[in-house]
Amino acid sequence: MTLRATDALLRALHAHRIFPKYNAPPPAAGGYGWLRRGDDLLLRGRPLRLEERAGLYGGPYKPLVGGHKGSGLCSIGSFSYSYSALPEGMTVGRYCSISSGLRILDSSHPTGILTTSAISFRPRNRLFEGIATARLEAFAAAFDVIGGKAMPMLEHDVWIGANVTLAMGVRIGTGAIVASNAVVTADVPPYALVAGNPAAVRKLRFAEPLAAQLLASRWWEVDPRFVFDLDFTQPAAVCERLLCDDAMPRYEPAVLLLAPDDKAASDDAAAALADQEITV
């Protein structure tokens, strides 16, 4: 499905402080960061949910050879940003920091048949011209290049270092850190620091009891003006306050929903910028 980047969409993104470039100025002359009026943004899968105050600085997503190109937009939580282009199917929670050079292992070869060669799933490659059989054509039409797995998911307060590689289907737990150049092939526990190829847990950010308290506090759901008015250099004290206070002000951000139909979105479809949730 294609979403047309109209002036209304650019205004909606800016109104929600969703920045397609670091501290991007307001839309002007048909452009907003790396987005341009008239761009056709190809969206796949479920609608995208973008919370206000998020940064998608990386531009259109470029997959591994054979993967699916993407618009550069994805579901992302408030106060998160990425200097890497992200695919639509990826989900990013709140307060996440993603450096440059992120790669997703989003293109695979079949491993359970006679050969791993591209002859089985790219029979139109001119290397194989004139020898593609009906069986090859049928197999290629049904082959899923991403292996039937979901895109990676980041929970909250995740820090991804430079030049990290993520396998399909991995989940990075809240509070985790992925060191530069790591290759992540399995889920990362909350508040773990992982490094290496394949990435392994090197240490925990906090002792397990405090990590459990942080998860229980769900501090990322509390109004940041309340949270960061506490002594946030003392996580244990913050947890104690949040876990004993039922009257904490919740953070309920404005949300931009991108759910195009088969035709390009019109200006009218993006007009109601004052709504809490907007479908474009």
Looking at the annotation, which residues are catalytic? 109
DSSP letter at 101? Answer: -
The span from the CA of 83 to the CA of 101, in Å, is 8
Dihedral pair phi/psi, residue 243, rounded to 5°: -75, -15
The dihedral through the CA atoms of 2, 7, 9, 13 has a sign that is positive
Dihedral pair phi/psi, residue 201, rounded to 5°: -70, 125
Contact 104, 151 (CB under 8 A): yes
The span from the CA of 184 to the CA of 106, in Å, is 13
CA of residue 136 relative to chain centroid, distance: 34
The span from the CA of 113 to the CA of 77, in Å, is 41
The span from the CA of 218 to the CA of 243, in Å, is 9
User: CA-based diameter of the chain, in Å?
Assistant: 72
Helix (H, G, I), strand (E, B) or coil at 42: strand
DSSP per position, 38-51: T-EEE--SSPEEEE
